[in-house]
Homo-oligomer: A and B are copies of this chain.
């Protein structure tokens, strides 16, 4: 069976695992106060070009989104997101569980636009009843998006400017950030992201770690953020587990390097589909490939390949997703190509 179902089907990258093994019996303080967490924080600050950043480690993506969003928002505020944003559809209502509404904007290939954002905010503050409504208190974007697409630097900057004008923090969900940074088509660097957002996270779970996401507050973390993390059940006793992994991921540029493999295998796969005359549902320059399959072909492929059903296109066609990752082998791509 060939696995293209998602980007978290293996354990950790070899170098990450090696570090866990090497440090395993060291006696270290708990809760993220160990030397590996500190080293990882410092390396991340450097990689972001943001020496003042405050960095925290959490365990998974939904958890990170819920903890960050609820810590930043005031009770009367909600978070603006694309209707296709992960927080809106696939996190079991974690944001709402924290008491906050998601205020959706229409999406274009998974993205929101600065124009639509500005329009929303203008309309909100012009509404004479806005005191009876949920105040917009944060803007959430994902990069790469749920469709594997990317914001350009210009788009990021424009969204950031609208946020700045309304004094609303911009939050970037980087669950797959490594694949966004490695994409050839992208002009957005980690420094750009640190420059244009108030807070973002660097995804580990999908990019080489066993688990773990690094939250970067580019200016200042919310007060007593550790207590907020603890209160949401997100503070690891053995915080080292996250520190050691991110220390490894940010040593010698590993994080950026392992992103490349996902991009290259995805690109090879993309070309294979095109060569065989398949239609691509949506152009995406990262590690997720959305392809339109005839239902017959889909059934046939399913026998030998694991992939992800995305949505029904029409009676005879389905949109499916093939995902690559840091661990995808080019041989597997070639074997899949041979089945097309």
Residue numbers of A with Cβ under 8 A of B are 1, 3, 5-6, 8-12, 17, 20-21, 23-30, 59-67, 70-71, 74-76, 78, 89-94, 96-102, 128-129, 131-135, 205-206, 210-211, 223-224, 226-228, 230-238, 240-241, 309, 327
Give min CB distance, A178 to chain B, whole Å: 15
Contact in complex: B24, A9 (CB < 8 Å): no
A90 vs B20: C-alpha distance in the bound complex, in angstroms? Answer: 28
Contact in complex: B241, A92 (CB < 8 Å): no
* Cross-chain contact of A131 among B5, B94, B224 (Cβ < 8 A): B224
Give min CB distance, A194 to chain B, whole Å: 24
**Nearest chain-B residue to A210 (Cβ)?**
B241
Contact in complex: A61, B237 (CB < 8 Å): yes
* Cross-chain contact of A23 among B5, B11, B75, B226 (Cβ < 8 A): B11
Contact in complex: A92, B21 (CB < 8 Å): no
* Cross-chain contact of A231 among B29, B75, B210 (Cβ < 8 A): B75
A96 vs B232: C-alpha distance in the bound complex, in angstroms? Answer: 11
Copies of this chain: 4
Contact in complex: B97, A231 (CB < 8 Å): yes
Give min CB distance, A156 to chain B, whole Å: 26
A99 vs B65: C-alpha distance in the bound complex, in angstroms? Answer: 16
Give min CB distance, A244 to chain B, whole Å: 8
Known interface pairs A131-B226, A206-B237. Does A94 touch B231 (Cβ–Cβ under 8 Å)? yes
Contact in complex: B92, A231 (CB < 8 Å): yes
Contact in complex: B26, A230 (CB < 8 Å): no
In the complex, what residues of B have CB within 8 A of residue A102's CB? 101
Which 10 pairs, one residue from A and one from B, show the smallest C-beta to C-beta distance?
A63-B233, A11-B24, A92-B231, A92-B230, A93-B134, A76-B227, A96-B101, A3-B27, A9-B27, A93-B101
Contact in complex: A205, B238 (CB < 8 Å): yes
Pick the most buried of A67, A89, A237: most chain B CB atoms within 10 A of its CB. Answer: A237
Contact in complex: A236, B211 (CB < 8 Å): yes
In the complex, what residues of B have CB within 8 A of residue A70's CB? 75
In the complex, what residues of B have CB within 8 A of residue A100's CB? 93, 96
In the complex, what residues of B have CB within 8 A of residue A90's CB? 129, 132-133
In the complex, what residues of B have CB within 8 A of residue A89's CB? 133
* Cross-chain contact of A230 among B24, B94, B232, B236 (Cβ < 8 A): B94
A241 vs B91: C-alpha distance in the bound complex, in angstroms? Answer: 20
Contact in complex: B67, A93 (CB < 8 Å): no
Contact in complex: B233, A135 (CB < 8 Å): no
Kindly list 15 other residue pairs between chains A and B, CB separation below 8 angstroms, not including A63-B234, A90-B133. Answer: A6-B237, A9-B29, A9-B30, A10-B26, A11-B23, A11-B24, A59-B59, A67-B233, A71-B75, A78-B93, A94-B230, A96-B101, A133-B227, A205-B237, A232-B233
